[in-house]
């Protein structure tokens, strides 16, 4: 019963009340059932979702989109990286000026 209720995401306080025990007693004696219940339902739902996604109809498309968005982080709302604009003449000249080598004798003229 604990495993089934945990699988349906019933809060532990309510499971303890249904059994007529304290919450710490529930955690002490039914820790495995609490963990396994949620894991088993999660596995069944994931299996069902993947079964639906393997089809070829509109439901399969929706199931696939849902699985990709929730499990793999895909999203239509994630901003795409901005395209880099080519540098202009002033920017190129500034970069070249900052990278000018010292071996051309300019350092002695500036002193």
Helix (H) or strand (E) holding 16: helix 12-19
Q: With respect to residue 108, please indicate whether it lies within any of the assigned structural domains.
A: no
In a domain, 21, yes or no: yes
Structural domain count of the chain: 1
| Residue 2 included in any domain | yes
Residue 96 in domain: no
Q: Cα angle at 30 between 36 and 5, to 5 degrees? A: 60
Grade residue 39 by pLDDT with cuts at 50, 70 and 90.
confident
In a domain, 12, yes or no: yes
CA angle, 20 then 25 then 31, to 5°: 115
Task: Calculate mean pLDDT across residues 6-26.
Answer: 92
The domain of 50 spans 1-76
pLDDT in tens, 49-65: 888 888 888 888 888 88
Distances 85 to 44, 68, 82, 89, 99 between C-alpha atoms, Å: 49, 32, 9, 13, 21
Overall average pLDDT of the 10-31 stretch: 94
Summarize pLDDT for 55-98 with one digit per residue, the tens. Answer: 888 888 888 888 778 777 777 776 666 777 888 899 888 888 88
């Amino acid at each position: 019963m604990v495993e089934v209720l945990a699988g349906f995401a019933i809060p532990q306080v309510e499971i303890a009340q249904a059994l007529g025990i304290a919450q710490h007693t529930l955690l002490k004696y039914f820790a495995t059932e609490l963990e396994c219940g949620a894991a088993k339902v999660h596995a069944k739902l994931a299996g069902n979702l993947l079964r639906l996604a393997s089809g070829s109809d509109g439901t399969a498309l929706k199931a696939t989109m849902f699985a990709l968005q929730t499990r793999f982080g895909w999203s239509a709302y994630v901003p795409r990286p901005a395209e880099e604009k080519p540098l202009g003449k002033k920017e190129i000249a500034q970069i070249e000026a900052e990278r000018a080598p010292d071996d051309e004798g300019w350092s002695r003229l500036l002193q």
